[in-house]
């Protein structure tokens, strides 16, 4: 499988690392061999090679500074424009892992459209295009018999999307509800442990959970984007962020956290999607509620279904290898459907 990676930050590097470390295992267990033929970053270079780029050299170059440090070989091409690289590079799948823009979905949307137009499947960790434009992108993909997969956009490799769309396909899902933002859950947990808001946010950034601009996390917009993705993906309902009631955690003070603690309760930022709409709100939960015990950067989602009752997944919702794992799961899903 020939891959183009857009974005080579935490998530893109995580996927590259996994593909390198697990190459033997993936080949033996799944007959899966991946080759990275193009990588684009926002400010650190765009390179492609039809015979494949060496993952250790990519990781070395980026840790040194940028792709100018990638060793030259015959056939190596450097670009200024990611869309041009996507159009001119033969590949099976485009992996979109550039920073999310929840307002415009750009430039990821242009990358995805260029890839679909040139016959590439899409695997994305980028929430913007899925939250805003899933029906449109599905149409483009279906017209060319291509897949668009987005497991990494909600709860990293904890399989919320596959569960909601594929595994529970025979159930009617009445609500998907849970803790969908790791940064805010981490901050709330650390504040309960006595840390200041700022120190906890800085830790979440250092640990790689927070968005490039963490306002999206703390104001609830990241969780709201995930609600839009669940609405579109699981409930087939296209909505806009203005259709949701969204409140973040910036209004919650240390005193609020202390008061809740004294009363045997905890604040959690709860996201909800139903066939009728969605919301993101801080909620004070009693300790008898299982979601109150989901601490740190961990996420959780409960699917309330007709045939199965409630099904809850608890697991990582962010992180380098955790999100890389979701991208890999989607690549393997595409691989399983390819003719041998
Ligand atoms: N910033 C997000 C979080 C990353 O904290 O959950 C995963 O979407």
Question: Atom of ligand 1 at shortest distance to CA of 180?
Answer: 6
Per-residue pLDDT at 339: 62
Ligand 1 within 6 A of CB of 210: yes
**Between the CA of residue 183 and those of 215, 222, 258, 277, 329, what are the distances in Å?**
11, 10, 20, 24, 23
Q: Tell me the average pLDDT of the chain.
A: 96
Ligand 1 within 6 A of CB of 124: no
CB 160, CB 297: distance < 8 Å = no
Confidence of residue 237 (pLDDT cuts 50, 70, 90): very high
CA dist 254 and 31 (Å) reads 52
Report the DSSP beta bridge partners of residue 315.
Answer: 299
Question: Atom of ligand 1 at shortest distance to CA of 156?
Answer: 7
What is the average per-residue pLDDT within 184-210?
Answer: 93
Ligand 1 within 6 A of CB of 151: no
Q: Which of 156, 206, 216, 222 to mutate to test the pocket of ligand 1 (most atoms within 8 A of CB)?
A: 222
Gap from CA of 222 to ligand 1 centroid (Å) = 7
User: Ligand 1, atom 7: nearest CA belongs to which residue?
Assistant: 318
CA dist 234 and 134 (Å) reads 11
What is the average per-residue pLDDT within 242-262?
Answer: 96
Confidence of residue 40 (pLDDT cuts 50, 70, 90): very high
Confidence of residue 312 (pLDDT cuts 50, 70, 90): very high
Ligand 1 within 6 A of CB of 318: yes
What whole-number percentage of the chain has pLDDT above 90?
95
Q: Which two tokens stand for residue 74?
A: 């015959």
CB 180, CB 226: distance < 8 Å = yes
Gap from CA of 159 to ligand 1 centroid (Å) = 15
Per-residue pLDDT at 340: 53
CA dist 79 and 144 (Å) reads 27
Gap from CA of 72 to ligand 1 centroid (Å) = 36
Polymer length of the chain:
340
pTM: 0.96
Q: Which two tokens stand for residue 99?
A: 């920073």
For residue 115, pLDDT over 90 is answered with yes
CA dist 262 and 248 (Å) reads 22
Confidence of residue 211 (pLDDT cuts 50, 70, 90): confident
For residue 213, pLDDT over 90 is answered with no
Confidence of residue 317 (pLDDT cuts 50, 70, 90): very high
Q: Which of 318, 319, 322 to mutate to test the pocket of ligand 1 (most atoms within 8 A of CB)?
A: 318
Q: Which two tokens stand for residue 30?
A: 């799944």
Q: Is 120 a catalytic residue?
A: no
CA dist 127 and 327 (Å) reads 13
In this structure, the dihedral spanned by the alpha carbons of residues 149, 154, 155 and 157, taken in order and rounded to 10 degrees, is 10
In DSSP notation, 297-324 reads TEEEEEEEETTTEEEEEEEE-S-HHHHH
Per-residue pLDDT at 248: 98
CA dist 183 and 206 (Å) reads 11
Per-residue pLDDT at 250: 96
CB 325, CB 156: distance < 8 Å = yes
Query: Which residue in the list 226, 237, 268, 320 is annotated as catalytic?
Result: 226
Ligand 1 within 6 A of CB of 316: no
């Amino acid at each position: 499988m020939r891959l183009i990676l857009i974005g080579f930050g935490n998530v893109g590097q995580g996927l590259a690392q996994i593909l390198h470390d697990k190459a033997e295992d993936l080949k033996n267990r799944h007959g899966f061999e991946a080759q990275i033929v193009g990588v684009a970053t926002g400010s650190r270079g765009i390179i492609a090679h039809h015979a494949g780029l060496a993952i250790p050299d990519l990781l070395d170059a980026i840790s040194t500074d940028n792709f100018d440090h990638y060793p030259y070989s015959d056939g190596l091409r450097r670009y200024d424009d990611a869309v041009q690289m996507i159009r001119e590079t033969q590949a099976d799948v485009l992996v979109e892992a550039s920073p999310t823009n929840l307002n415009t979905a750009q430039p990821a949307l242009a990358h995805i459209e260029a890839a679909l137009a040139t016959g590439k499947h899409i695997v994305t960790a980028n929430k913007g295009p899925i939250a805003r434009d899933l029906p449109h992108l599905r149409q483009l993909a279906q017209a060319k018999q291509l897949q668009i997969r987005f497991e990494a956009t909600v709860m990293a490799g904890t399989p919320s999307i596959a569960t909601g769309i594929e595994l529970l396909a025979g159930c009617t899902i009445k609500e998907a509800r849970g803790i969908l933002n790791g940064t805010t859950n981490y901050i709330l947990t650390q504040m309960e442990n006595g840390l200041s808001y700022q120190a906890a946010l800085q830790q979440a950034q250092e640990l790689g959970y927070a968005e490039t601009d963490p306002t999206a996390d703390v104001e609830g917009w990241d969780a709201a984007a995930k609600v839009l993705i669940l609405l579109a993906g699981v409930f087939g309902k296209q909505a806009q962020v203005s259709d949701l009631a969204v409140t973040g955690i910036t209004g919650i003070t240390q005193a609020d956290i202390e008061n809740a603690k004294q009363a045997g309760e905890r604040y959690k930022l709860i996201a909800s999607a139903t066939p009728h709409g969605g919301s993101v709100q801080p909620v004070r939960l009693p300790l008898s509620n299982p979601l109150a015990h989901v601490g740190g950067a961990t996420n959780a989602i409960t699917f309330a279904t007709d045939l199965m009752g409630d099904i809850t997944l608890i697991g990582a919702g962010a992180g380098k290898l955790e999100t890389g794992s979701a991208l890999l799961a989607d690549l393997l899903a595409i691989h399983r459907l390819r003719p041998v």
